[in-house]
Structure formats: C-alpha cells, structure tokens
Structure 1
Amino acid sequence: MLRTTNAINKGAVVHVIDNDETVRDSYALLLSAYDYIVYCHESAEGFLRTLAANNMRNLGCILLDLKLAGLSGLELQRILIDQGFKVPISFVAGFAEVSQAVEAIKLGAFDFLQKPIQNEELCNLVAQMLTKAQQDLDKLNQESELSALFQTLTSRENEILDHIIAGKSNRQIGEELNISIKTVEQHRANIMDKLKVKRPANLLNLIFKFKGAKAS
C-alpha cells in the first residue's frame, strides 16, 4: 500500500539525479502524480549549479544514481555533507559494488537500492525520506528557537545556570558568587521567565535538551 498520501509530503521537492533520460522522465511522471515537485538533473554538476543559482536550503530529498558523467554519486554526497546540507539521499543504482553501498550508508545515505525499482517501492521510499526531512526540519527549528531563548540570558544568569546544572542549592550558589539568597532567587526567576518555563523540573529538562542539541 502506498504511503504517499501523507499530507505532510504533498508539494514536497524531490530531486532526481540520473544520467539516463528515460529514468529521469519515468521517475518524474510517477512522482508528479502524487503531488510532488520533481526536479531532474542529468549530472551532479548540473544539480550543484541549480543549487547555487537558486540558493536552495530546503532540498526535500534526493534520488541519486551512483555512476554519473563527471562527479559520481558518492562524490556529490560528500560535497553536500561538506557544504552542510542535511538532506535524505537514497541511491538507486544500476550496478554497484558492496563496498560502494557500504560507504554510502556510512556517509548517511537513507537507502541504497538496485535498479530496476518497482513503482510502489520508489513511492514508499520517497514518502519515508520526505517524512525524515520534515522531522529533521522540525528538530532544526526547535533547536533554533531554544538557542534564541538561551541567548537572552545575561552573563550572570548563565553563570547561575551552570551552578543550577551542577545541582547546587540557592544558598550554595549565593555563597560561591558572594550574593544573597534573595538575589539568587531573583536570577532564577528571571531565567525561568526568559526560558518560558514554570517549574524547576521543566527548567532542567530544557537545559539538558539544549545542551544535547549543541553537542549533536
């Protein structure tokens, strides 16, 4: 059963990069019928020129052949990684050595399939990649919102935040920073207000979520 009816994916972008015009046309015809916006490229270089000319950041997903004229599919994958594009890529290759498939997966490819691929399998693959792309975008937006909140904190508030993370009480924080407990309490209240949390447990959860996002 096809899963491409997911409303999240309607109007999403699919890039098909293949040097075989018949394959490009076939994929475009099939995927366009499911309300995807399909862009076809006969080479990695052509795709990169389109990318640069249109300043595209929301790539959707990519169906990529392995053997292309000029840059190979693996070389394009590495370039996109180096340029900071986090986009689901699946290889649909006519022929490939096991080592090439392993390398692509190690570099983060979503999947690696051999041609020919059935229509249902292709559509389900695209739907899954686009769902992953949406999840990644949602995560990025959440991280950006978190970062914006934490940037509103003053240097003193960040200092107190470090002590809170260490599990220190208001009294301990006051003694170490040579300020009154009342001042510490006021700073904590300001921190919670700026970070839009109402309970200490929520504050700690938000802090660890932010720290985890920065580390990833």
Structure 2
Amino acid sequence: MNSHTHDNAGDDEERTMVYVVDDDESMRDALGLLLQSVGLGVVTFASAHEFLSYEMPDVPSCLILDVRLKGQSGFAVQEQIAASQLGLPIVFMTAHGDIAMSVKAMKAGAKDFLAKPFRDQDMLDAVAHALAGDAERRDALRSVEDLRRCYESLTPREREVMAFVASGLMNKQIAGEMGLSEITVKIHRGQAMRKMAARSLADFVLKAEALGVKLPQSAAAPARGSRT
C-alpha cells in the first residue's frame, strides 16, 4: 500500500504539514480531504514504516496516528519519535479507545486522543492546537539559535563578565575576581549587553541562563564564595 499525498498548504505565511498514519485506506482518504479543505498540507501513510522513512520538511507539523496498526502499535511509533527528538506533536485516534490507553498516550506526551468516530471539528481543533504548539516550539529553538549567534560575537572578556553577572556578582565583586577596575567591568558589561540585545540587567541574566552560560572552573569556586 503506497502513501497518498494531498499536498495543498494553501496561502499560509508559513507552510504547515499534517501526517496521517492509519492502515484503513478510507480513513486516510477522509482525513486527507478534511485537512486539505482547510488549506493544510497533508501526507498520508498506510504504515508506521512508511512514515518513519519519510523525509519531513522543516515546517510546523503534527502527526495523526492510529493506536492499532498492522505490525506496529501507535505507542511504539510514539516512542520512536520521542527517541529521535523530533519534537513532533501527536494526535492519537482509535476505534478501540479506553481510559487507560488515553492516559498512557497523554503521559507519553500526546497532544490529544480522539475515539473513532470523531466529529470533523474535534479533529480540526486538535490539529490546530498541535500545529500552534509546534510553531511555538520552533520559535523558541530559533530564538536560542539567535542568542548563540549574539554570544559568539562577544570577546572572551565580555563572556567572562556575562558569566559573573549571571552568577549574581556585583560590578565591584567582578572587578575583584577579574583583577580589573570597576569602570572597565562596567564597559565590558555594557558592550556585552548591547551585543546580546539585552533590554535590562534581568534580561541579560535570563539570556545567559537560556544559553547555559557558566563560570569557568577556575573562577567558579572563588565566585561562589563572593556571592552576597
């Protein structure tokens, strides 16, 4: 059984994709047409193997996954997706649903769990929610990448000052740790904040934390002793 592609992403600013994995051809076709009717790009698959070997474009996406598949359960597919760190949100559907299954799916990170037959609107709402969540996740990843680029523009001294600021030290304490004058520390801190596009000292510290900026081992011990 080959996968059927319904490739119509509409005129969305950012293309989105929905993947459907179900061994029931009539269900695949019905879902493909439903999602296509609201302008979503859709690719349907008859098996988990077909889906897992598909080259996915780097756009906000979600997976509609049947719990019971020939050869492999939907939960096994969910585990493989989690292990691959794709971050792909999953909407489960089943004709054999029960509370235990639903709890297991949600605990493992599923976005929704719909029992067949479901209302079209319930599926569209679940997909919209999953796609919005994936778009947010991607934005957060992009913002961290932007922060990394800014951080790479800092001089070694500016990075050191940033690490000390993030550890909670005042300018005077940082000056003592680095063997610099307080005014020099202020200059380095100001330059680092400008390059990091930090709106305030608190924003500067948050950005350092987001990047996991840590003091070098040689400086960490005395710095901890200096905190007030």
Q: Normalized against structure 1, the TM-score is what?
A: 0.84
Matching residue within 19, 23, 38 for 1:34: 38
Structure 1 residues 19 and 203: alpha-carbon distance in aligned structure 2, compared to 1, 3 A threshold: same
Give, in whole Å, the separation in 1 of the partners of 2:86 and 2:12: 21
Q: Which has the higher contact order (CA 8 A, sep 6+)?
A: 1
Structure 1 residues 49 and 205: alpha-carbon distance in aligned structure 2, compared to 1, 3 A threshold: closer
Q: 1:14–1:38: 8 Å Cα contact kept in structure 2?
A: yes
Note the residue ranges of structure 1 that are not aligned, 5 or more in a row.
1-6
The RMSD of aligned alpha carbons is: 2.3
Q: What letter corresponds to residue 164 of structure 2 in structure 1?
A: H
Q: What letter corresponds to residue 76 of structure 2 in structure 1?
A: E
Residue 161 (1) aligns with residue 162 (2): yes
Give, in whole Å, the separation in 2 of the partners of 1:10 and 1:154: 36
Partner of 2:180: 179
Note the residue ranges of structure 2 that are not aligned, 5 or more in a row.
1-10, 214-228
Displacement of 1:152: 2.6
Give, in whole Å, the separation in 2 of the partners of 1:142 and 1:11: 19
Give, in whole Å, the separation in 1 of the partners of 2:29 and 2:62: 17
Deviations along 1:137-163, whole A, 9 cap, x unmatched?
Answer: 111111211222223333332222222
Q: 1:45–1:70: 8 Å Cα contact kept in structure 2?
A: no
Give, in whole Å, the separation in 2 of the partners of 1:202 and 1:122: 39
Displacement of 1:32: 0.8
Map residues 16-31 of structure 1 onto 2, 5 A cutoff.
16-31=20-35
Q: 2:60–2:135: 8 Å Cα contact kept in structure 1?
A: no
Give, in whole Å, the separation in 2 of the partners of 1:193 and 1:74: 47
Residue 86 (1) aligns with residue 90 (2): no
Give, in whole Å, the separation in 2 of the partners of 1:97 and 1:154: 58
Residue 143 (1) aligns with residue 168 (2): no
Give, in whole Å, the separation in 1 of the partners of 2:82 and 2:138: 16
Map residues 65-214 of structure 1 onto 2, 5 A cutoff.
65-197=66-198, 199-211=200-212
Q: What letter corresponds to residue 186 of structure 1 in structure 2?
A: I
SS of 2:53's equivalent in the other structure is helix
Q: 1:30–1:119: 8 Å Cα contact kept in structure 2?
A: yes
Give, in whole Å, the separation in 2 of the partners of 1:46 and 1:198: 48
Q: Report the number of matched residues.
A: 203
Q: 1:17–1:47: 8 Å Cα contact kept in structure 2?
A: yes
